[in-house]
Structure 1
Amino acid sequence: MAIDDLPPLRDVIARHNLSARKALGQNFLLDLNLTAKIARAAGDLAGADVLEVGPGPGGLTRGLLAEGARRVLAIEKDPRCQPALAEIAEAYPGRLQVIEGDALEIDPLEHLSPPIKIAANLPYNVGTELLVRWLTPKVWPPVWSTLTLMFQREVAERIVAAPGSKAYGRLAVLAQWRTDARIVMSLPPGAFTPPPKVSSAVVHLTALPEPRYPADPKVLERVVAKAFNQRRKMLRAALKGLHPQIEDLLVEAGIAPTERAEQIPLEQFCALARLVAAR
């Protein structure tokens, strides 16, 4: 089923000679029904500006526009994709702006107006770094209301992981402290060209008005990073050097010093961060 009057993505890729490049973390999703489904997972797009990183030939871009996004700002590093994206911009007058460059080096805010949503099939090589940046702005709530992002399945599971699981770590704590995060779609390798070696999943994160539990963001980040950097060690050893009385602070936060990081729920990490900051 066509979602617009533009050619199928396979034809676009062939016409513009857009073979995916491993160095850019590219895996193209060609099924426009799937890209439209991802766009719908982002919620009501009418009246919203959407930031998309790594649009490639524009499959998700077309889905976002077809689902009613007010405007899409697409940041694409690969200059080969520009002609294909220009064709989409022409088909949706005034609704698509494309910036050529590295998303890690571009501030998109001057090109966006609230409400802002972020939706992307993120390049595998920068996906986690971008997510951490979006989760750790200087001011909360952030400029975006939701993130709808495709990752390798393993990364998606780390974002939504519960304490006690092997996937639970720094990413889960950062994401769940300030957002509601859930996996909304799973995609097999065969959905992509070329097929990656792993499955993928789409995670939808909704920004909370304020963090679930009070804590200084920088202190919490330091505590969590130190705890999970040596996740096999007991916390009294992993957090050694964080504070002279770290064992006493752990006990005061309701954490046994012999526990390991993956056993500690978010609320207790926040309690420990408050005690470290206060002392």
Structure 2
Amino acid sequence: MTVPEGLKGLEPLRQTIARHGLDARKALGQHFLLDPAITARITSLAGDLAGQHIVEVGPGPGGLTRALLDSDAATITAVEVDTRAVAIITELAALMPDRLQVVEADAMRRDLTTLCPAPRQIIANLPYNVGTPLLVGWLRQASAWSRLTLMFQQEVAERICAAPGSDHYGRLGVLAQWTCRCGMLMHIPPGAFSPPPKVHSAVVGLIPHARQPDATLFRAMEQITAAAFGQRRKMLRGALKSVGGEALLTEAGIDGSRRAETLDITEFDRLARLHARRTAAPA
């Protein structure tokens, strides 16, 4: 692809970072990804971006932002809470104002679906300290997104993609796989970042299923999985006592002596639907 005119002659990212005095802050979970080959690879993993409106969360100095601008994406909206990074991305937006807009906001407190029209995607190197709660929030509105391509700590990525019975299988994996088709796309070593984190990272792709739960059913699934995995060493009849216990399990046709990590997504779906129906029924 031909480099867009506005991106020609850009200074190296390290020079931009030095000019703005942008040191990575632990409190913000910042680890900057500067290698253009890796950011280009992440962008390509998101599939054909032609006509897509992209939301990037936590762009930092703009390494991934540059790669997104070098793609066929219709627009990119960069959401950044760090005022120092906002200044850098604003400089970049001034070069391509028709394609890049900057929103200074905390993504935890902002409905990102309001920032751009459909079809929309999220592509982001997420801050490590808020990656999981951000994802759960986006799963609640999965029907609004055509795809999510997200970088997490590798341990979190493994939890998202984990199969029943595995060590990493838990609440996050159930919620993610219930609403999306999930896959591990890329592993990234600590040395690719500045400063290097103490852990490896991985990129996960999530493609929302055509049919999505409504808000009531999603809330029921959150309650079921929180109870089941909150006491995962217990048998389900004990772990699920607060949400129906043995009676709920019997109605779902699930043996109460089993433990949460042995249930597949279909069985959790059955429990959530029964729980939603029970809680909605008049007393």
- TM-score by length of structure 1 reads 0.92
Match of 2:259 in 1: 260
1:53 aligns with 2:57: yes
Match of 1:204 in 2: 205
**Alpha-carbon offset, residue 91 of structure 1:** 2.7
The whole-number CA distance in structure 1 between the counterparts of 2:42 and 2:23 is 23
2:106 aligned partner, one-letter code = D
**Alpha-carbon offset, residue 22 of structure 1:** 0.6
TM-superposition CA deviations, 1:178-216 (whole Å, max 9, x none):
11000101000000000000000000100111149xx92
The whole-number CA distance in structure 1 between the counterparts of 2:76 and 2:106 is 17
1:107 aligns with 2:79: no
1:85 aligns with 2:89: yes
Runs of 5+ consecutive residues of structure 1 not aligned to the other structure: none
**Alpha-carbon offset, residue 248 of structure 1:** 3.9
Match of 2:42 in 1: 38
Name the SS for the 1:56 alignment partner.
coil
The whole-number CA distance in structure 2 between the counterparts of 1:109 and 1:255 is 37
TM-superposition CA deviations, 1:137-186 (whole Å, max 9, x none):
3xxx6211100000000000000000001110111111111110001010
Match of 1:144 in 2: 145
The whole-number CA distance in structure 1 between the counterparts of 2:241 and 2:198 is 39
2:90 aligned partner, one-letter code = A
The whole-number CA distance in structure 2 between the counterparts of 1:33 and 1:80 is 25
The whole-number CA distance in structure 2 between the counterparts of 1:95 and 1:249 is 51
TM-superposition CA deviations, 1:24-67 (whole Å, max 9, x none):
11000010111111111111111111011100000111111101
Question: Superposition pairs for residues 129-168 of structure 1, below 5 Å?
Answer: 129-137=133-141, 142-168=143-169
The whole-number CA distance in structure 1 between the counterparts of 2:277 and 2:19 is 61
Match of 1:14 in 2: 18
Q: Compared with structure 1, are the counterparts of its residues 278 and 61 closer, same or farther at alpha carbon in structure 2 (3 Å cutoff)?
A: same
The whole-number CA distance in structure 2 between the counterparts of 1:275 and 1:22 is 43
Match of 2:281 in 1: none
Q: Compared with structure 1, are the counterparts of its residues 80 and 166 closer, same or farther at alpha carbon in structure 2 (3 Å cutoff)?
A: same
Match of 1:220 in 2: 221
Whether the 8 Å CA contact 2:227–2:242 is kept in 1: the answer is: no
Match of 1:171 in 2: 172
Match of 2:128 in 1: 124
Instruction: Find the partner of 1:65 among 64, 69, 83.
Output: 69
Runs of 5+ consecutive residues of structure 2 not aligned to the other structure: 279-283
Name the SS for the 1:216 alignment partner.
helix
Match of 2:249 in 1: 250
| Dislocated runs of 4+, deviation >4 Å | none
The whole-number CA distance in structure 2 between the counterparts of 1:50 and 1:238 is 40
Whether the 8 Å CA contact 1:254–1:268 is kept in 2: the answer is: no
User: How many residues in Structure 1 have an aligned counterpart in Structure 2?
Assistant: 271
Match of 1:275 in 2: 274
Whether the 8 Å CA contact 1:253–1:272 is kept in 2: the answer is: yes
Normalized per residue, the structure richer in helix is 2
- TM-score by length of structure 2 reads 0.91
Q: Compared with structure 1, are the counterparts of its residues 45 and 250 closer, same or farther at alpha carbon in structure 2 (3 Å cutoff)?
A: same
The whole-number CA distance in structure 2 between the counterparts of 1:33 and 1:93 is 24
